[in-house]
């Protein structure tokens, strides 16, 4: 599948040594729109591509929504652009996809950064979000009207605002969701995994940036993670939830900066 993306060129006045391009892979219900600030910051280091994964953003829709399919899409993206080696940064579903790409196509990935997710199976626990997204928005007059209806299912205004970033106004009036909600609702096993301990390894520099209170990466996940990624380093942000690139943006950037200047980052074999 040909994925939509947004390109952010490396800053012309960057003093950082040239490195491979960076690909950002968003999480479930997200898109490249959620990563503009991070992408612009990362142009200090390299060219940046923000991808819309399948069934999200401006990318095509498909009834198939699996980690394997998403990893194949990323591989196709790299091939189409003659990118022979890339740095992957993935969050949540995008982190699982980035790990899958690294394990399946290790020659195409030089470094891996994963935000707040582990290489293991996750239950699909997004029924409330799906219920909110299944509201008929085609005749709605305003985002506020839609938001008030969504609040019945999703009380958290942060999550509602995140979901509302997928809303698009139609020329004839009313709104539509850019997400392929039907496919996502039928893909409840999307997080059941490509990970089979001992079957494959990615030994290049790998960095896990975690929210200390999110619950997505548990202490018992550390040892299995090192089976797949033996050179992994772990960073935890105090008080951090699952969306630390946004809710703890300064701390997230500080960690990224430290990683990109570390000896481990340049120890690519």
Enter the pTM of the model: 0.95
Does residue 141 share a domain with residue 103? Answer: no
**Phi, psi values for residue 83, rounded to 5°:** -95, 110
* Those residues with Cβ within 8 angstroms of residue 62's Cβ, 6 or more apart along the chain or in another chain: 1, 54, 55, 69, 180, 183
d(CA 249, CA 233): 20
Nearest CA to 101 out of 43, 34, 23 is that of 23
Which residue among 185, 201, 217 closes a domain?
A: 185
Can you tell me which residue has the tokens 């290049």?
Answer: 204
- Domains identified in the chain, total number: 2
d(CA 112, CA 207): 6
Nearest CA to 23 out of 3, 104, 125 is that of 3
> Given this model, what pLDDT does residue 230 score?
95
Range of the domain at 194: 5-122+190-266
Does residue 116 share a domain with residue 225? Answer: yes
For the chain, give the mean pLDDT: 95
- Taken in order 180, 65, 70, 229, is the CA torsion positive or negative? positive
SS3 170: coil
Which residue among 145, 165, 185 closes a domain?
A: 185
Place 17 in a pLDDT band, splitting at 50, 70 and 90: confident
Does residue 181 share a domain with residue 143? Answer: yes
Does residue 195 share a domain with residue 88? Answer: yes
> Given this model, what pLDDT does residue 266 score?
81
Q: Do the beta carbons of residue 111 and residue 259 sit within 8 Å?
A: no
Does residue 61 share a domain with residue 19? Answer: yes
Does residue 246 share a domain with residue 115? Answer: yes
Does residue 12 share a domain with residue 141? Answer: no
Q: How far is CA 203 from CA 2, 48, 61, 111, 227, in A?
A: 29, 23, 33, 9, 10
Place 197 in a pLDDT band, splitting at 50, 70 and 90: low
Q: Do the beta carbons of residue 75 and residue 101 sit within 8 Å?
A: yes
């Amino acid at each position: 599948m040909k994925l939509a993306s947004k390109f952010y060129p490396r800053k012309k006045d960057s003093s950082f040594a040239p490195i491979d391009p960076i690909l950002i892979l968003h999480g479930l219900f997200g898109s490249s729109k959620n990563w503009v600030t991070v992408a612009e910051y990362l142009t200090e280091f390299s060219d940046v591509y923000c991808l819309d994964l399948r069934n999200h953003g401006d990318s095509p829709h498909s009834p198939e929504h699996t980690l394997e399919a998403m990893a194949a899409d990323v591989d196709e993206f790299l091939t189409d652009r003659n990118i022979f080696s890339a740095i992957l940064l993935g969050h949540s579903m995008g982190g699982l996809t980035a790990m899958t790409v690294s394990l399946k196509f290790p020659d195409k990935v030089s470094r891996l950064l994963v935000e707040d997710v582990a290489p293991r199976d996750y239950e699909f626990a997004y029924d409330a979000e799906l219920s909110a997204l299944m509201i008929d928005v085609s005749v709605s007059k305003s985002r506020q009207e839609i938001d008030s209806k969504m609040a019945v299912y999703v009380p958290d205004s942060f999550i509602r605002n995140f979901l509302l970033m997928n809303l698009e106004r139609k020329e004839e009036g009313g709104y539509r969701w850019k997400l392929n909600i039907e496919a996502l609702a039928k893909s409840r096993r999307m997080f059941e995994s490509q990970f089979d301990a001992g079957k494959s390894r990615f030994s290049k520099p790998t960095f896990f940036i975690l929210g200390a209170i999110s619950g997505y990466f548990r202490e018992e996940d550390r040892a299995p993670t090192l089976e797949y990624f033996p050179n992994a380093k772990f960073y935890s942000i105090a008080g951090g939830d699952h969306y630390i690139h946004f809710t703890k943006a300064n701390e997230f950037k500080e960690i990224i900066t430290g990683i990109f200047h570390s000896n481990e980052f340049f120890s690519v074999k």
